[in-house]
Chains A and B, each alone.
Chain A
Amino acid sequence: MSSSTSSSTSTKSAAKSPAKGRALGLVAWLAGILFFLPIAWMALTSFHSEQDAATNPPSLAAPLTLDGYRDFFGAGGGASPWPSLINSAVASVVSTLFVLVLALPAAYALSIRPVKKWTDVLFFFLSTKMLPVVAGLLPLYLFAKNTGLLDNIWLLVILYTSMNLPIAVWMMQSFLSEVPKAIIEAAQIDGARLPTVLTRVVAPIALPGIAATSLICFIFSWNELLFARVLSGVVAQTAPVFLTGFITSQGLFLAKVCAASLVISLPVLAAGFAAQDKLVQGLSLGAVK
């Protein structure tokens, strides 16, 4: 979303009544601050001591401390979050790589090579995204239990791959359609086979789109709770499941809860801000540019 596209009309109307334009800008700022306030408050609370965090009315001027973060990382004797953070990183990164390996050739076939009924195939991918997770959860649980895959991070990797593959195929299909066909044909005439064409010709041109797709797959995998909650236990616990340990925490752990929520959200916040322009395109399955 470039900032210049819409400005021509809006500047004109703003120029007509600068006071009104300024007032509306102010309203936008207020809305932005209002929406961000809970997160800012959470950040502030995470740097307070547990006593200061739990006062009413809240104390703005209380001294800042890193105790909440120290507690979160296990200094206070609680469970260390590192295994769950590592599990989440493995599940998110590896499933994203799997998605890329599967989606890139599929999107290539759908966008560059002519495939009969190609839109039908695209819509099949999309329709799987509309199948609620709960619809297949029980058989997956029984399957995992009987095969000993329960509490195994690789099962989550496979499920996260299937969760993100439809979105990735859709997004990449729209990115790859923008690669000029003449370049691909030239490479094929020179005798390049599919893997070479994909890695040497298509991928470099579509790289920004591929990067955005990867970030979105990463975010979804990192955020996922239901699969992880049902199919993981102690060993394969992911970061969101670790967070659910705070659901009933009372009173004196507020700073720790805030620190935990922020640390675990950090990778997603970073990835999301980096990809904000492409985020909407990915989330709307490539239908909105």
Chain B
Amino acid sequence: MTATASTTAAGHARVPTARKQGPPGRLRAWATRAPLLPALIFMVVVTQLPFVATLVISFFDWNALYPDARSFTGFANYTEVLTDPDLRKSVLTTILLTASVVIASLVIGLGLALLLDRRFRGRGIVRTLLIAPFLLVPVAAALLWKHVLYNPEYGLFNGLLHWVGGDGASQPDWISDTPLLAIEASLVWQWTPFMMLILLAGLQSRDTELIEAARMDGANNWQVFRHLTLPHLRRYLELGALLGSIYIVQNFDAVFTITSGGLGTANLPYTVYQSFYQAHENGLASAAGVLVVIGSIIIATFALRVVSSLFREEVSR
């Protein structure tokens, strides 16, 4: 719906210039479209064809170790994926992991963005320090948490506990005790800067005159935040949440590195990877993959709506 609205709005603005230049024939239409074609064709071939193949494979009972026993089974793989307790658990893990990381990093990111929106000495340095976690290669970040921070024998966390509490301090084994939380903490650390950057951009696009007018009328900080800043930030919060969800739903690096999917931390991408790369269950893996896509489409529908509303604003500007 929103996309159609912006199409017509933009169309009206552009049609006159197009008419002025020459006869609007078929040839001209193709000449205009031609520069788009290489990218379009490339994307269709490289991303859409494999997905169609996944869809086809998902209807087959096919273990790569027994290639001759391949047969059509209809929706049996889907039934199996949805009834298998391990796979059902990985669906739950994916939802839990994504929701908790997105919410926590959004809330902390909002706090940091509000702090960084103020002027203080060394703001540029602080911003650079805060962005750094997001710029570490994801596998390196996961290794850092696994070995350097969480390790029960020489990790920094237990080292700090040792420093503070002396020899009798408790020395928890973070990854074994709270495996999912361990992964979530590392992801929140990596994704908070991303949320902060988006929200900071939102804060800095506020109408300063409006805020000054509100202050003239006697509004205090909280009132300005509640009635001006937060409504303005809403779309940026939505954008951060949805883009974060798209990336974190697909997270593989942290799960693979920190726990290798063990201790109940396997999410769907890891499960799909494992079922075809280690168990060679091509049909099952494909069905699980298709389910990930369906979940992503649900998120993406909302994401596209948010992006298109931002986009429409930009077109009309």
Contact = CB atoms under 8 A, between A and B. Distances in A.
Range of interface residues on B (Cβ < 8 Å): 35 or more
Interface stretch (B71-79, B81-89, B96-104, B196-204): B196-204
Contact of A139 (B54, B139, B246): B54
A149 interface: no
A5 B34 CA distance: 40
Given A105-B39, A138-B282, A249-B147, A57 B137 contact: no
B17 interface: yes
B299 to A, nearest CB: 7
Contact of B51 (A24, A135, A230): A135
Interface string B271-291: 011001100001001101110
B230 interface: no
A78 interface: no
A34 B243 CA distance: 25
A103 B253 contact: no
Contact of B143 (A5, A223, A243): A243
Interface in B240-276: 243, 246, 249-250, 252-253, 256-257, 260, 268-269, 272-273, 276
A9 B203 CA distance: 11
Contact of B269 (A114, A134, A279): A134
Contacts of B293: 131-132, 135
Range of interface residues on A (Cβ < 8 Å): 35 or more
A273 B203 contact: no
Most buried by B among A29, A239, A289: A29
Most buried by A among B35, B126, B153, B293: B35
Contact of A28 (B46, B120, B197): B120
Interface string A141-162: 1110000000000000011011
A119 B300 contact: no
A32 B152 CA distance: 26
Nearest to A106: B39
B116 A28 contact: yes
B212 A9 contact: yes
A206 interface: no
A9 B211 contact: yes
A72 to B, nearest CB: 12
A179 to B, nearest CB: 14
Interface string B111-124: 11001111111111
A236 interface: no
Contacts of B300: 127, 130
A102 B121 CA distance: 44
B260 A247 contact: yes
Interface in B39-54: 39-40, 42-43, 46-51, 53-54
Nearest to B118: A10
A39 B250 contact: no
A247 B285 contact: no
Most buried by B among A25, A39, A118, A136: A136
Nearest to A166: B43
Given A10-B117, A25-B118, A284 B198 contact: yes
A212 B293 CA distance: 30
Contacts of B252: 133-134, 225-226
Contacts of A54: 153-154
B299 A130 contact: yes
B308 interface: yes
Interface string A35-66: 11011011001000000011111100000000
B3 interface: yes
29 contacts: A5-B204, A5-B205, A5-B208, A10-B117, A31-B112, A35-B192, A39-B136, A53-B154, A56-B153, A102-B39, A102-B42, A109-B35, A115-B36, A116-B29, A119-B6, A123-B3, A128-B47, A133-B252, A136-B53, A140-B50, A165-B42, A165-B43, A225-B139, A226-B252, A226-B273, A261-B140, A273-B135, A287-B310, A289-B205
Given A219-B135, A222-B137, A247-B146, 17 more contacts: A5-B208, A9-B212, A28-B120, A31-B112, A31-B130, A132-B249, A132-B292, A133-B250, A134-B288, A135-B54, A225-B138, A257-B148, A262-B140, A264-B140, A272-B134, A285-B307, A287-B239
Interface of A: 1-3, 5-14, 21-22, 24-25, 27-29, 31-33, 35-36, 38-39, 41-42, 45, 53-58, 102-103, 105-106, 108-110, 113-121, 123-143, 158-159, 161-162, 165-166, 169, 174, 181, 185, 194, 219, 222-223, 225-226, 229-230, 239-240, 243-244, 246-247, 249, 251, 254, 257-258, 260-262, 264-265, 268-269, 272-273, 276, 279-281, 283-285, 287-289
Interface of B: 3, 6-7, 10-11, 14-15, 17-18, 21, 29, 32-36, 38-40, 42-43, 46-51, 53-54, 57, 111-112, 115-141, 143-149, 151, 153-156, 158-160, 162-163, 171, 189, 192-194, 197-198, 200-206, 208, 211-212, 215, 221, 236, 239, 243, 246, 249-250, 252-253, 256-257, 260, 268-269, 272-273, 276-277, 282, 285-286, 288-290, 292-293, 296-297, 299-300, 303-304, 307-308, 310-311, 314
Closest 5 pairs (CB-CB, A-B): A25-B120, A136-B50, A105-B35, A139-B53, A261-B140
